[in-house]
Each structure stands twice: as C-alpha cells, then as structure tokens.
Chains A and B, each alone.
Chain A
Amino acid sequence: METLWLFVLGTLTVGYFSLAGFDYGTALLLPFRRKAEALQRMTPFFLGNEVWLVAAIGVLFAAFPRLEGELLSGAHSTFTLVLAGLVLFMASVQLRLWWWLVFTGGLMVSVGWGLFLVHLLDAPPLVALVMPVLFAVHGWVFQNRRWTLFPLTALLCALPIPLAFSSIDVSGLMAHSDTLGLLAWVAIPIIPLVVVLQWSIVAISSR
C-alpha cells in the first residue's frame, strides 16, 4: 500500500512538473521572444499543469497526513513565494496586459520550487537556480518545436523534486489502510483517464 501511494504521489508530481516546465519556461523566455506568439503557443496547455498540482496536494493530505502539514509549514515562506507567483502568473496570462507580469510570476514560481529543492536537500542556496534554468531550457525546446529533445527536458524538469522527496522516510506518516483502500479505488482509474483527456485537448487544439 505504501509503495502504491508513493507511486501515485510521484506520478502526480511528475505530471505537474513535466507540464509546468514549458509553461513557466515560456514565461521566463518572454523578454527574448515575440510575446503574443509565445503566449499563444502556450494557451492549450495553460492550467493543464496546475490541476496536477492540486491533485498532488490532495493526495498528500489524505494519504500522508502526518507529512503534509510538516512539509508545507516547514517551508512556509518558500510556498508563499510559489503560490504568490502562481496567482500572479495565472492572472497576468489571462489579462495579457503587461508581459513582464507574466515573466515575474513565472520567475517567482520557478525560483520558489528551486528554494523548495534547497530546503529538501539542505543544499546551498545557489542550487535554487536549477529549477528556473531547467524550466527555461524546456520552454525553449517547446517554443522551438524540438520534439526529439522534448521528452528529455520534460523529464529533467520533472525529476528533481520527486527525487529529493525520496530522501524522506514516510513510514509512520501515512494514513491508516482503511483510508488508503478507499482512495485507491478512485485515484487509480482517474489518473490514466485525465492523461487521455488532456492528450485529447492537445490533439484537438492543434487540429
């Protein structure tokens, strides 16, 4: 049961970061590109990543209740930065008024995740730059349609946080098997369903 839920949480987190990379990456590259065109390309994917984040935190709460609170409150200011960046990013992408707001939002989110990585690994602060750099590279690959490189950069964006997570010992922090059993019935069919549906969105919008 423990492995199953680590796998579910891992899948959701990987889903978020691999989808998020070119979103925030596009924002980071905005100063160097034609703004309208770059944002237009991102549109079908916009918000597609955040749903994975929401699902991941939901699973974290229910399946790892003794971990969730400690993990989030332990990095309070970092998450304040990530969330503030997210709100700014989501609002400014839709407002389409000032591109530098989109850039700032994207930068805050990516630096925020970098700082979370630093927090998890107890690494020097400079390591925080790993995330914005990876996101920017992934965004560049996406914007220039280098599809052969795409899976590679997606993976590079997705892996740091889940790998850093694996340093945490979750035994004793998980919910009782009664709760986990109930949730498993829901989580396991829904994740592949969402993958198929999101794939259809991309397929339809590029038609």
Chain B
Amino acid sequence: MSAADLARLQFALTTSFHFLFVLLTLGLVTLLVIMQTRFTITGAPVHERMTRFWGRIYVINYALGIATGIVMEFQFGLNWSGLATYAGDVFGAPLALETLIAFFLESTFLGLWIFGWGKLNRWVHLALLYLTALTAFASAFWIMAANGFLQHPVGYRVEGNVLRLDDFSALLSNPTFNSALMHVIFASITVGGVFMTGVSAYHFIKRTPEVDFFRRSLRMGVVTTALATPSLIGAGFAQFPIISELQPGKFAAGPGVALGFMILIGMTLTLVSWLTLPLLIKDAVIRMRFPLYLMVIGIPLPFCAAVFGWMFREVGRQPWLVYGLLRTEDAVSHVDASQIRLSLIVFTSLFVLLACVDWALIARAVRRGPDVAPAPVSPLVVTL
C-alpha cells in the first residue's frame, strides 16, 4: 500500500472509532439534560438517581473518547500536512473554533459538573450541564462546518498557491453543512434513545428489582427514538438534492451498499420505535419479554448506520480532499509509508483496546445498576 492509502485507512479508522464515542456522548448528554431538569424542578429522588446512573456512563464514555479525539486532531498535521498548508487559513478557522469554544470549554464545564455534585447550588449545577450540552453541540456544529467546507468549498479566495478566508459567513450557510449537521444531531439523539432502551431492557431481562427506575428509563428511550428518527430520516433525504447539485459524482463514487444499509437501519428503527409506543401502555412490552431481547440486540444498529453514513459521505468525496480544489494524494505529508504503517498498527490496536475498555467499564457500570443509597458521587474513575 502507498503512503496515501495507509494514511486514508488510518484516517477512516480513527474517525470511525472517534465517532462511536461522540454519538453516545451527544445522545446521553441530551437525555441527561431532561433528567436533571426534572430532578431540579420536582426534587423527586428517582430523577436524581437516573441522572447519576446515566451520568456515570456518560462520563466514562466522554473521558475515553477524548483519547481518540486527540489522535484525530494530530492526524491532520501528521499525515495530511498538505491540507493545512493549502487550506489551513479557511478550514483551520472552524477547526480551531471547535477546539477553543467547544471542546476546551465543554470539558471544563463537565469537570465542574462532576466535582460539583452535591457541593453546588442545584440550579447552578443544572446550568453547568446545560452549558456542557450546549458546548457539546457547538462542537458538532464547528466540525460539520469544517467538513462541509471539504465537501463544497465556499468563502475562500485563491492567493498564490494557498486559500485565504474571504467570507466566514459563507462557511456557515454552506448547504453541505446545514442539513448534514441536523442529520448528525438527530443520529446522536437516536443513539442515546436506543442505548437507553437497550440497557433498560437488559435489566428487565435480568429481573431487576429497580422496576420503577428502568420502566421510566425504557419509556424515555423508546419515546426519544420515536421522536428523533423521523427528523433523522428527513434530514438525511434532504441532502440528496444538495449532493446531486454540488457533488454530482458522489452517488457513483460512494459505496452504495453502505448508504443502503444506513437507510435500512434508519427505517427499521423508526418503524420499530413507533410500533413499541402503544406497547408502553400498561408496560405490555416489558411483560411480553421477547421485545426486550430485540432491544438489547438493537444497541449497535445506530452506531453501524452512522459509520455507513460517514463512509458514503467521505468515500464519495474522492479523489478530492477539498472538493474540486485539492486532491487527496496531493495532501499527504512527505513521510515514509513505513512510518505511517507503524502508526496505523499502533493506533488501531490501541483503539481496539480503548473500545474494549469503554465497553468493559460501561458494562460494569450498567451491571452495577443505580445506587441504592445516595452515595457521594464522583462518576469520574474514582468509584468505578
């Protein structure tokens, strides 16, 4: 394999792994906002326990996701130095805004939220979670703005052999950015809903004594999935006319099978979640039991769909890195293929390890179930 092929494979693997963490983070934080708001208003202990239990899973996933994110960010410079050299003035702006406005602040708000449990005024504590969620979605906003630029470059002027930023607002009204952002947001909320449904179903399969707790969680998961999926599919199909107009070669170049599977999974989740809604009455779905097994099996589905979707979007952009302006092969760093191969092997094995650790830690937190007595919570690592 050439250096370019290895670098592409590495980028695809890093992004895919990173995005699995991102999806769950965004999905869970949205649901946590709802739970903690209900707790802060009503003061009912069940909402507090829900916030703690799901919050712990969220924090585990977030902290491990950072590791994949750091590698992701370095990779632009390590393997694709041609991108920064040529388009850094324009592409770098949303990327830097993401690291500063979104990630830098998000992690810090989250840190305060974690260590502020029971120590801060509960409205202040709630506000911190809102700020964490807001900056998390701001992260998605800027990353999609940067990716939208790669799909359909706008707002630039050519000066010598580099691009200069001409009109920043054009980056934000880029048609390949807006609908894709909505698609990603609803995909993450769907992931949150499906995950919550599946984990709650697991506890009912295990005949949990926490009936009220997981009954509420399961309902919340199903309703979230049912509400998010139609918008998810809508925002997905809304991209087709834009792609036909701006990237006419994409449907031929992109992997159609991946697109097909993604649509199939999206449709299935919509159908199943709406069919489950009436079964929530008098907990029929829990008493029937067999749907519970399907809910557990269904957890990986939206994750797979998201990776398929990205494969279509990114492979379909080839042979361009910046569509129509910079070819992928011209952006690869002047690095030996052997060096890229080494880093590919190292990072891929570490990411597999990381995904396993994430899985193991989340599974441990899930099996442990919600706290019985309101113990002091520091969800980050300490009590695991």
Please give the residue numbers on chain A whose beta carbons come within 8 Å of chain B beta carbons, in ascending order: 40, 43-44, 46-48, 50-55, 57-63, 65-66, 68-73, 76-77, 79-80, 83-84, 86-88, 90-91, 93-96, 175-176, 178-179, 182-183, 186-187, 190, 193-194, 197-198, 200-201, 204-205, 207
A205 to B115, CA, bound (A): 6
Give, as a whole number of angstroms, the nearest-CB distance from A37 to chain B: 12
How many Å lie between the Cα of A74 and that of B358 in the bound state? 32
Q: A61-B88, A87-B350 are in contact. List 14 more A-B contacts (CB 8 A).
A: A43-B378, A52-B104, A61-B92, A63-B92, A66-B84, A68-B84, A69-B333, A80-B78, A84-B350, A90-B64, A175-B165, A190-B104, A190-B105, A193-B105
> Are A77 and B380 in contact, CB atoms less than 8 angstroms apart?
no
Distance of A66 Cα from B162 Cα, bound (Å) = 10
16 A–B contacts from the bound complex (CB under 8 Å): A43-B381, A43-B382, A55-B99, A55-B104, A62-B88, A62-B89, A62-B95, A63-B96, A69-B82, A70-B85, A73-B79, A73-B334, A76-B340, A84-B346, A91-B357, A197-B111
Chain A residues in 8 Å Cβ range of B89: 62, 65, 175-176, 178-179
Q: Is B263 an interface residue (CB 8 A)?
A: no
Q: Which residues of B contact A59 (CB under 8 A)?
A: 96, 99-100
Q: Shortest CB–CB separation between residue A141 and chain B, in angstroms?
A: 23
Q: Tell whether A197 pairs with B95 under 8 Å between CB atoms, given A73-B78, A84-B347.
A: no
CA of A168 to CA of B159, assembled, Å: 24
Judging by beta carbons under 8 Å apart, are A80 and B343 in contact?
A: yes
Chain A, residue nearest B346 (CB)? A84
Q: Which DSSP category, helix, strand, loop or mixed, fits chain B's interface?
A: helix
Contact B108 A87 (CB under 8 A): no
- Evaluate contact between B335 and A94: CB separation under 8 angstroms: no
- Chain B residues, CB < 8 A from A197: 105, 108-109, 111-112
A4–B346 Cα distance when bound, in Å, is 37
Stretch at the interface among B21-29, B41-49, B69-77: B69-77
Q: Count the A-B residue pairs with Cβ separation under 8 angstroms: how many?
A: 217
Tier of interface size on chain B? 35 or more
- Interface centre among B96, B165, B360, by most chain A C-beta atoms within 10 angstroms, is B96
The answer to whether B164 and A90 have CB atoms under 8 Å apart is no
Confirm or deny: B265 has a beta carbon within 8 angstroms of a beta carbon on chain A. no
Contact of A183 among B82, B97, B159 (CB under 8 A): B97
B304 at the interface (CB under 8 A from A): no
Docked complex Cα distance between A173 and B87 (Å): 13
Query: Which residues of chain B are within 8 angstroms of A187 by Cβ–Cβ distance?
Result: 96, 100
Residues of A within 8 A of B84 (CB): 61, 65-66, 68-69
- Chain B residues with Cβ below 8 Å from A43 are 378, 380-382
Tell me if B85 and A65 are in contact (CB < 8 A).
Answer: yes
B80 at the interface (CB under 8 A from A): yes
- Shortest 10 CB-CB distances between A and B: which pairs? A65-B88, A69-B81, A58-B99, A72-B77, A62-B92, A62-B96, A73-B333, A80-B343, A65-B84, A205-B115
Q: Is B207 in contact with chain A by the CB < 8 A criterion? A: no
Q: Is the CB of A72 within 8 A of B107?
A: no
B325 at interface (Cβ–Cβ under 8 A)? no
CB of B353 closer than 8 Å to a CB of A: yes
Residue with the greatest number of chain B CB neighbours at <10 A, chosen from A50, A61, A201, A207: A61
Contact A204:B357 (CB < 8 A) given known A58-B98, A65-B84: no
Q: Given A46-B380, A62-B95, A96-B381, is A87 in contact with B81 using a C-beta cutoff of 8 Å?
A: no
- Bound CA–CA A44/B360 (angstroms): 23
Residues of A within 8 A of B378 (CB): 43
Q: Are B335 and A194 in contact (CB under 8 A)?
A: no
Task: Report the bound CA distance from A161 to B67 in whole Å.
Answer: 22
A95–B357 CB distance below 8 A: yes
